[in-house]
Structure 1
Amino acid sequence: MFPSLQDEAYLCTAVRLNDSVEEWVVRFDPLASANRAHHMLLFGCSDVLQQNLEGKFWDCGHHGVCQNSRIMYAWAKNAPTTSLPEGVGFRIGGQTGIHFLTLQIHYAKALPEGVKDHSGLQMELTTQKQKYKAGIYLLAAGNTIIPPNTPKTHADMNCLLADSGEPRDITLFAYRVHAHVLGTVITGYLFDTTKNEYIEIAKGNPHWPQAFYPMNKTHLAKTSDILHARCTWNSTGRSRHTMIGSTAADEMCNLYLMYYTDPRLGSEFSACGMETYPMITKNLPPDSDVPLPPNPLLEEHAKGKNLHKEQAFEYSISKDEPIKVEKKGHTHQYLQDNRYQAKPGGYEYEDATNYPQPQQVLQRWKTPADTPRPALMENSRKAKQLKILAFKTASDWGQEEVQYGQVVAVALDSAGDVVVFHRGERSWDGSTFKGNILRDTSKPIKSPTLLHLRKDTGHIIDKWGENFFFVPHGLTLDKNNNIWVTDVGMHQVFKFPAGYGNGQPLLSLGTRFEPGDDDTHFCKPTGVAVMTNGEFFVSDGYCNARVIKYSANGKILHQFGKQTKYNFFGELIFSVSCTFNIDLPMFQ
């Protein structure tokens, strides 16, 4: 039961999951009405701050939602129940790394004095392992400015699936759009880089119930494909500029794609928040910003009290049969076929002469980091391909009998010989940490984690580091061959002498197994860079997102950087200087 004390309030509540039992969510039943709650988001979290668990709810607009979160479900405007396809579920609890479910509710308007709200979410769970695991792919705009009195303003996002965190192909089966009062239509496309064609996968009116609507059929998105979203706003009658933000006075641009994927190797959440390929945007189908026909029934249903909680969307994973839709007043005949039919041979691009292979397509449409955008429109410019043949694998290098764990870093000593840092028998996965704290601090890695190899043969010269490290990460050798390493489980940085000496570090920084952000603590430090005068930098790291400069003897000289900010919906807020997402190891 939530009391809403002021306008634009964000309140959260969390439930702890059973770490010994893996469960699968197969159905979401929203228990809310649009006349009370503006929207709800469900997050799967690795941890929730203890201070937030002490009460029944907390202000997550100012104190954050949870740690290592991913969106699992979203609701707004009296959307109906979502039942996942047979054999598909969201994995939670057990060893999945999801130890809490956190429900966030946004109240755009304060409730009348004395009125309590009982908005919530009911879910159907099963312990039966599902054939596929479900996931959410979010395309969201974070830095668009909508000018006043403008009939059409666009925000476009597109990303290569593989570049946005998806290690495996995914099968899309449902979508949800979200914008505020100026939004007129949100459209999604799958661009097949092998066929050079657009497939419309989503088109929604953000003023209708914001459900996960079934697609007209399932769509296989390959890691070589590009996903694109376009949001269109109409600011006619508004005399001010409108920013992207979390309040009702701001705007938003979200396209949620629900999918299923490989239960073992697939990802469960990915996001795209930028326009990576401007030429994909330039050649969008002409009806990409054309609103859907008016539907007074849906527009009326999106307001006021929710009277249709018992009716649900149901999905099928069959690619050959139409999705079964059971929803009174929601026939959606416009979804029965694609709004845009690809032309024979693919879409006819302005600058196309013939159809290149996928990698050429990506090189041609991706904005080079050092090239002004207008140059992309010049037909005379050609992308340069990396000469792969300049690199060859030395098939006779190394020793087959050597067993490597997760290899995390490689460095060269002054003679050109190779040092490899690996995790031996240990793996870093969702069960390794609880929040930022290592779960098992009693068992260091037994095998040598540092291997010194001959540059000509790859044969082992020496082995170091047994029974010392817990979760190895960064490795650097300085001009004197001193060995600098980081351990994200221990939250420490170490300097060992050349050849590892007697196994005792010359310098240790950080507090063993204790994450933190002060002068004596790191939080999963990722790497070290050493200057010729002995001064060095530490990238810290997965939690703190800062870089610290030290004197040669380990005294702090300077530090800079702070965490990249995300809004309440998990979207990146682009822009301020000296912010980092994750500080990865630095190069010298």
Structure 2
Amino acid sequence: MRVSVVAAIVAALAVGILIGTQAIPLQGQARNAGFAAVPGEKGGQDPFGAYEIVQNWPKPISQLPGLSNWTWGAGEFVFAETPNRVYALQRGLLPNIQRPKAIKLPQLGPNIEFPIGRLPWRDATSASPPGALEVNGKVGDDSDVGVNGTDFLWSHIINIVDGQGNIVESWTQWDKMFRRPHAIYVSPYDPQKRVFVVDDYRHAVFIFTHDGKQLLKTLGEPNVHASDAKHFYRPTFIAWDPDGTYFIADGYANTRVVKY
């Protein structure tokens, strides 16, 4: 009798372990069709539910006229106003060059090779400008990461992509205004659909018309930081209330929220 009970317990445990270790398919989704980071119900621990990578979205920026030698730089922010109008904010372009094959270097030591992972090859965050935040206490628009036009190209900071990944707009007329653009938004409650761009190194927020043709307003004093009512110190993000009130996270240095 005791042997039978023990066998039954072992069998039950085995079934439980088998079930517990199997991935549970998402609701309404076939097995192996893709799943969130943690398998479970759609939404689960991933606030956006399941997702799968869409290859070549957006399309290579090198396809644009005059950019055959360049590719995307450090991506700072993506904002989807609609499924067919997505704002892509980046810190300039980087040379369009292929990653070399890894080379073993046994003469230097065991298990040493170059390049290693993303470093030091194509680390867009480090390779894209700007460089140091301040030089001798002065904030400017110069970069210390190389030569513009050779090591990077400060161009195509704001791009708009459609649902198929095509780059349909590039607001290049404003490229020289930015130093380290951090975020871009369109308030869902704004009938004018103004575009807000936060630049944390310039300590400012720039507000444009929806088509990008006109700069409507600048919040903060560009290149000047402080913690008073008229200045920011490296602002970062924005959130809106339905009544149009908005809140700017300010940010890296001031660690406060400013209400408008």
TM-score range, shorter chain: 0.5 to 0.7
- Asked whether the equivalents of residues 476 and 529 of structure 1 are also in contact (C-alpha less than 8 Å), the reply is no
Higher Rg: 1
Residue by residue over 1:462-489, the C-alpha shift from the partner in whole angstroms, topping out at 9 and shown as x without a partner, is 0013222111101111234311111111
Q: State the SS of the aligned residue for 2:247.
A: strand
Find out whether 1:419 has 2:87 as its counterpart. Answer: yes
Following superposition, which runs of at least 4 residues in structure 1 exceed 6 angstroms of deviation?
none
The alpha-carbon distance between structure 1 residues 513 and 473, as it changes in their structure 2 partners (threshold 3 A), is same
Q: CA RMSD in A?
A: 3.3
Counting aligned pairs with the same residue, the percent is: 24
The alpha-carbon distance between structure 1 residues 513 and 407, as it changes in their structure 2 partners (threshold 3 A), is same
Higher strand proportion (structure 1 or 2): 1
Residue by residue over 1:430-451, the C-alpha shift from the partner in whole angstroms, topping out at 9 and shown as x without a partner, is x422389665425797302110
CA–CA distance in structure 2, aligned partners of residues 487 and 501 of structure 1? 18
Find out whether 1:432 has 2:126 as its counterpart. Answer: no
CA–CA distance in structure 2, aligned partners of residues 522 and 490 of structure 1? 9
Q: Which runs of 5+ in 2 are unaligned?
A: 1-16, 24-36, 41-45, 63-70, 94-126
CA–CA distance in structure 2, aligned partners of residues 478 and 546 of structure 1? 21
Q: State the SS of the aligned residue for 2:92.
A: coil
Deviation for aligned residue 1:399: 1.3
CA–CA distance in structure 2, aligned partners of residues 516 and 449 of structure 1? 26
Deviation for aligned residue 1:519: 0.9
CA–CA distance in structure 2, aligned partners of residues 436 and 532 of structure 1? 43
Find out whether 1:529 has 2:245 as its counterpart. Answer: no
Q: Which runs of 5+ in 1 are unaligned?
A: 1-352, 361-383, 551-588
Match of 1:453 in 2: 161
Q: State the SS of the aligned residue for 1:410.
A: strand
CA–CA distance in structure 2, aligned partners of residues 410 and 517 of structure 1? 28
Match of 1:506 in 2: 216
Deviation for aligned residue 1:428: 5.6
Out of 473, 476, 497, the position equivalent to 2:185 is 476
Match of 1:64 in 2: none
Q: Give the TM-score normalised by the residue count of structure 2.
A: 0.56
Q: State the SS of the aligned residue for 1:466.
A: helix
The alpha-carbon distance between structure 1 residues 435 and 541, as it changes in their structure 2 partners (threshold 3 A), is farther
Q: State the SS of the aligned residue for 2:211.
A: helix
The alpha-carbon distance between structure 1 residues 511 and 458, as it changes in their structure 2 partners (threshold 3 A), is same
Out of 38, 57, 63, the position equivalent to 1:385 is 38
Say how many residue pairs are matched.
168
Deviation for aligned residue 1:404: 1.5
Deviation for aligned residue 1:510: 0.9
Deviation for aligned residue 1:412: 1.4
- Asked whether the equivalents of residues 485 and 528 of structure 1 are also in contact (C-alpha less than 8 Å), the reply is no
Match of 2:108 in 1: none
Find out whether 1:395 has 2:55 as its counterpart. Answer: yes
Deviation for aligned residue 1:532: 3.3
Out of 222, 226, 234, the position equivalent to 1:516 is 226
- Asked whether the equivalents of residues 413 and 477 of structure 1 are also in contact (C-alpha less than 8 Å), the reply is yes
Residue by residue over 1:36-91, the C-alpha shift from the partner in whole angstroms, topping out at 9 and shown as x without a partner, is xxxxxxxxxxxxxxxxxxxxxxxxxxxxxxxxxxxxxxxxxxxxxxxxxxxxxxxx
The alpha-carbon distance between structure 1 residues 531 and 459, as it changes in their structure 2 partners (threshold 3 A), is same
Q: Give the TM-score normalised by the residue count of structure 1.
A: 0.26
CA–CA distance in structure 2, aligned partners of residues 499 and 524 of structure 1? 26
Which amino acid in structure 2 is aligned with residue 482 of structure 1? R
Task: Give 1:501-580 correspondences, 5 Å limit.
Answer: 501-502=213-214, 505-550=215-260
The alpha-carbon distance between structure 1 residues 509 and 405, as it changes in their structure 2 partners (threshold 3 A), is same
The alpha-carbon distance between structure 1 residues 408 and 545, as it changes in their structure 2 partners (threshold 3 A), is same
Match of 2:141 in 1: 441
CA–CA distance in structure 2, aligned partners of residues 437 and 453 of structure 1? 38
- Asked whether the equivalents of residues 139 and 223 of structure 2 are also in contact (C-alpha less than 8 Å), the reply is no
- Asked whether the equivalents of residues 134 and 140 of structure 2 are also in contact (C-alpha less than 8 Å), the reply is no
Deviation for aligned residue 1:411: 0.6
